[in-house]
Structure 1
Amino acid sequence: MSAPARFDRGHTDDLMSFLAASPSPYHAVANTAERLEKAGFRQVAETDAWDGTHGGKYVLRGGAIVAWYVPEGAEAHTPFHIIGAHTDSPSLRVKPRPDSGAHGWRQIAVEIYGGPLLNSWLDRDLGLAGRLTLRDGSFVLVNVDRPLLRVPQLAIHLDRTVNEGLKLDKQRHLQPVWGLGDEVRDGDLIAFLEQEAALAAGSVTGWDLMTHPVEPPAYLGRERELVAGPRMDNLLSVHAGVAALTAVAASGAPLTRIPVLAAFDHEENGSQSDTGADGPLLGSVLERSVLARGGTFEDRARAFAASVCLSSDTGHAVHPNYAERHDPTHHPRVNGGPILKVNVNNRYATDGSGRAVFAAACEKAGVPFQSFVSNNSMPCGTTIGPITAARHGIRTVDIGVAILSMHSVRELCGADDPFLLANALTAFLEG
């Protein structure tokens, strides 16, 4: 086994900056693309013809990005080593007619995206971010990263039983306030965002907007051994994936596999979109890469058959206050290294051969890893892993980092685990 990886808080510092700068999937892929560009990757358009030259390339579509690095001498049937992740997180998203209000309060109409811990959105200072679509079809990113909105909780004096069980009506109780006024004026929010983005009045005709907490990520704990922050599920994996891909591309080491990062949108609501893992994006990119290198359908089949994907997503660390909710023999701990996620009913895609692949990568990197399986009495979540395996016929392994407070506005992980994950992913991409 190689010498154990040295803990590098510089990686975690950078993760915290990435989280803070990525309040929406669109910002996450823009920041990922910027890092790829600095590493020498170049964007290719899906509407253009592709060439088979070596080097780093990426495709950006909405809230998804797929990047790959073709080493010199790669043949048409060279297989792929893929890191899969997702850019979206549960949130409150703005409705088509956003301007609302009652009783002298001006409010924003929002819809629940994914499966958030609803109570974690109460009494938080929230900003607003996302994508504005202009009349010519172009997009502009917007980020109001200051206290703008708030979902006020009902005082205990008006709900004396609240501490016996909080029940929130998703339609009535989660509409944030953002000002005062008796008159609801259609167009107010979009006019405000046009000003924030320095756009001409009336130029915005469409939007994809979501709220986000403005409190920045932070270290906590006696030894600063923990990190609290938003959207770790699953930007932690996106950040580790781009760090691994750019490190492998820059190393100059000979590669027998084509390393790939695929970061999808819409995992939190089923992945069924043109930018989700159940859409055609990844398969199209991989197949076009084969064909651009002079390959045939036979080469594509050979490449896919020998390819492997690590589906990297956060998982559950053992909770000290609810240990009985976990499997009694599987208690993943924070800062114990990445987790290998297993479910025999294929909610995760890992099997024995996949375990061997991940174990080899961790051994090469000198990184410890842990196993996760759900308590038999608890329904198991799922990931893009089974979708990737079924849609593309590519062997897939589900892994990730163990965290607490998953799907909360503010999640919690170990300060060393992001670096350990990135090291394991780098070793995997190296082949």
Structure 2
Amino acid sequence: MPSNASAAVDHVQDLGAYVSASPSSFHAVHEAARRLNRAGFTPLDELQPWEGGASKFYVIRDGALIAWVTPQNAGPTTGFNILGAHTDSPSFKLKPKPTTGKFGWLQAGVEVYGGPLLNSWLDRELQLAGRLVLRDGTQHLTATGPLLRFPQLAIHLDRAVNDSGLLLSKQQHMNPVFGLGDPANEDLLGLLAERIEGGAVDPADIGGYDVVVADTQAPAVFGAKGEFFASGRLDNLSSTHAGLVALIEHANAGARGGPIAVLAAFDHEEIGSNSRSGACGPILEDILTRISDGLGASVSQRRQSLAASFCVSADAGHAVHPNYAERHDPVNRPVLNGGPLLKINANQRYATDAAGAALWARMCAEANVPYQEYVSNNDLPCGSTIGPLTATRLGIRTVDVGIPLLSMHSARELCGVEDPLRLASVAEVFYRTDV
């Protein structure tokens, strides 16, 4: 992959297009599948038998996607090189009986999903997006476009807000408005039913829904020298997109040897990964087992292949904040456009160890990409990722990495223009590296 400034801008513009097409985890895997189809990948159905052999495939399970490229000479003990990421982001999820309101306002009943920076969602034009499941079991994607707003209280009615800080009750204050009228005479589900892909459905046919709130502002490159990129859902569509771009590049190169390259884009990381499509669930093990079965592996040979495997857990991390430097480690202070992060934690909140660090250093050198080390301040708790979950569940060697961000978990996050392409470049090297 090229690494000049023009290529970096092209990459983040494509990342922006991917984010814009992916307001929910279900949209993210749908857009990934569209790109994989265009690149000649074959979708597989988990309910059907699979043929083994060398080719390129993908599977969708709810809001998760696993895609892989099996090389020509793959055998029953061939290892898997897995780039793990996630498709969900902190937000708000639509509740049952979602049409609420009072005093002539129409409001949407939502529940907080994950750990969003609540204030960042105020006074923005927002949309609802996700999937509707009809009573007959058919599923439809829906996205409303600009519809909602969390209106902030005017300073005239809260004179102390700039001195005392903004305090938001998740129940009382985070109820977005979407119109004017009587809630008894309106139906928010009707709006969702009107705006599905492929035409409207009868709201009475909706049996269930997984619908979240998403920002509608377009991603943008900005800064004195065009060095910044702002967008929603960079945590963690930046990693999902990097792994997707790299896997397609790897497939186009027509690899005959090496490991089986896998992109594992899980859902529900922001709420603990405990689901059938999350990293704590069986999805990755299910898929790897069926790939091994197709290569004629015995149980013992499958264990050999896992022992030969490696996972790069790619999830966004923190850049040093110029206004809050005391919140960061005093020595390790990553900056935007300084390269992707190698994430380290003594208590295994990140799965990086010395062997993983050495592999990461070698791959970055081969890709001609600089990298930075990240470790948290000892006085602050460290977040975690899918890395330790994958290492624990499958025993696969794992290293945690990701691009640096400011404003993580904001409705609109900030990264450097150069870092997303650099992550994709190292991912492409990883997919073809014998570890």
User: Paired residue for 1:149?
Assistant: 148
Asked if 1:230 corresponds to 2:232, the answer is yes
Matched, 1:360 2:362: yes
> Does the 8 Å contact 1:4/1:367 carry over to 2?
no
Q: Is the 8 A contact 2:144 2:191 kept in 1?
A: no
Structure 1 letter corresponding to 2:190: A
Q: Does 1:33 align with 2:33?
A: yes
Letter in 2 for 1:392: L
Q: Normalization by structure 2: what TM-score?
A: 0.96
Q: Is the 8 A contact 1:315 1:403 kept in 2?
A: yes
Does the CA-based 8 Å contact 1:99-1:185 persist in structure 2?
no
Matches within 5 A, 1:2-401: 5-7=3-5, 8=7, 9-145=9-145, 147-163=146-162, 164-185=164-185, 188-197=187-196, 198-201=199-202, 202-401=204-403
| Amino acid in structure 1 at the alignment position of 2:17 | S
- Looking at structure 2, the residues matched to 240 and 49 of structure 1 have their Cα atoms a distance apart, in angstroms, of 30
Name the amino acid aligned to 1:247.
E
C-alpha distance in structure 2 between counterparts of 1:419 and 1:45, whole Å: 32
Runs of 4+ in 1 over 6 A off after TM superposition: none
Amino-acid identity (%): 52
Q: TM-score, normalised by structure 1?
A: 0.97
Structure 1 Cα separation of the partners of residues 271 and 201 of structure 2: 34
1:185 CA drift (Å): 3.7
**8 Å Cα contact 2:108-2:176 kept in structure 1:** yes
Deviation per residue, 1:269-323 (Å, 9 max, x gap):
0000000000000011001110111110011100001100000000000101111
1:86 touches 1:235 (CA, 8 Å); kept in 2?
yes
CA deviation after TM superposition for structure 1 residue 206, in Å: 1.1
Q: Distance in 1 between matches of 2:55 and 2:411?
A: 38
How far apart, CA to CA, are the structure 1 residues paired with 2:2 and 2:147? Answer: 45
C-alpha change, 1:149 and 1:45, in structure 2 (3 Å) is same
SS of structure 2 residue aligned to 1:93 = strand
Q: Give the whole-Å Cα distance in 2 for the aligned partners of 1:230 and 1:329.
A: 29
Whole-angstrom distance in 1 between the partners of 2:148 and 2:336: 33
Report the 3-state secondary structure (helix = DSSP H, G, I; strand = E; otherwise coil) of the residue aligned with 1:277: coil
Consecutive unaligned residues in structure 2, runs of 5 or more: none
Aligned residue identity for 2:338: G
Mark the runs of 5 or more structure 1 residues left unpaired by the alignment: none
Contact 1:4 1:365 in 2 (8 A): no
Residue 4 of structure 1 and its aligned partner are, at CA, apart by: 8.5
CA-based RMSD: 1.2
3-state SS in 2 of match to 1:74: coil
How much has 1:10 moved relative to structure 2? 1.2
Per-residue deviation at 1:230? 0.2
- The separation in 2 between residues aligned to 1:199 and 1:272, in whole angstroms, is 33
- In the alignment, the residues of structure 1 paired with residue 251 and residue 390 of structure 2 have an alpha-carbon distance, to the nearest angstrom, of 24
Contact 1:244 1:426 in 2 (8 A): yes
